[in-house]
Amino acid sequence: MGNEATCVARIDGKKVEGKALLETGELIFRGAECRVKIMFGEMKRVTAADGELRIETKDGAFAFAVGAAAAKWCEKILRPKTRAEKLGVKAGLRVAVVGDVEKQFAKELKQRKAEIITDGTAVEAVFLFVEGNGDAGNIAKAARKIKGAAGLWVVYPKGRKEITEGHVLGAGRKAGLKDVKVVGFSATHTALKFVVPVEKR
């Protein structure tokens, strides 16, 4: 994904080797002797210079030598994409929504001027909301709704034993689909995108 890098960090004036990971709303650094998590909201100043991502918070200054990724990470922190942008929702996109949709997401679809289709005609994206492993069968049904380059986004809860990423991946692949992208949908849910393999379109 380009959001993970092995690097040297400067923390409290000390150099530490470890791995930096840029998430949707935070930067995490794991070193042999320390672990740092900086939420975007805690960052007072963010710059990129000399291959370093430099972050200032009320607790101090940090620098992560991530090389060419520094400028890109800086941009992602300063101008994060909205959820709709990460999911590829734009004006005129023909979408179908299946399951118990989050109210805020339904509102975002309207704000982005997506065309919500309810009559079974062709769509460019399907958003399927599942809550338990019993819903995994719905993935096969939803798979039949997508044709050509259309995408199926399966939105499922995080940290639930009854439906895990493994369940979702297994059901999607069994339906003949290929998983291509994962997005943090919300604090409680993950969205995994499937498409029909190119050779089967």
Strand partners, 35: 30
Share of the chain above pLDDT 70, in %: 98
Residue where a domain terminates, one of 78, 111, 133: 78
The whole-chain average pLDDT of the chain stands at 91
User: Are 97 and 158 in the same domain?
Assistant: yes
Residue where a domain terminates, one of 78, 103, 126: 78
Is the pLDDT at 55 greater than 50? The verdict is: yes
Strands (E), 65-150: 94-98, 115-116, 125-129
Q: How many independent structural domains does the chain possess?
A: 2
Residue where a domain terminates, one of 78, 99, 127: 78
User: Are 65 and 131 in the same domain?
Assistant: no
User: Are 116 and 151 in the same domain?
Assistant: yes
User: Are 99 and 32 in the same domain?
Assistant: no
User: Are 26 and 102 in the same domain?
Assistant: no
Report the pLDDT averaged over residues 72-80: 93
Is the pLDDT at 173 greater than 80? The verdict is: yes
User: Are 40 and 93 in the same domain?
Assistant: no
User: Are 140 and 112 in the same domain?
Assistant: yes
Q: What is the dihedral of CA 114, 117, 122, 126, to 10 degrees?
A: 70
Per-residue model confidence (pLDDT) at position 1: 44
User: Are 99 and 180 in the same domain?
Assistant: yes
User: Are 169 and 133 in the same domain?
Assistant: yes
Which comes out higher in pLDDT, residue 30 or 24? 30
Domain that holds residue 168: 83-200
Phi, psi of 27, deg, nearest 5: -115, 130
User: Are 51 and 148 in the same domain?
Assistant: no
Is the pLDDT at 187 greater than 70? The verdict is: yes
Which comes out higher in pLDDT, residue 27 or 144? 27
Is the pLDDT at 71 greater than 70? The verdict is: yes
Q: What pTM, to 2 d.p., does this model score?
A: 0.71
Strands (E), 13-163: 14-22, 26-31, 35-39, 45-49, 52-57, 60-64, 94-98, 115-116, 125-129, 151-157
Per-residue model confidence (pLDDT) at position 2: 55
133 — pLDDT class (breaks 50, 70, 90): low
CATH of the domain at 115: 3.40.50.150
Which comes out higher in pLDDT, residue 132 or 122? 122
Report the pLDDT averaged over residues 122-145: 86
Is the pLDDT at 82 greater than 90? The verdict is: no
Strand partners, 189: 157
User: Are 110 and 188 in the same domain?
Assistant: yes
User: Are 89 and 180 in the same domain?
Assistant: yes
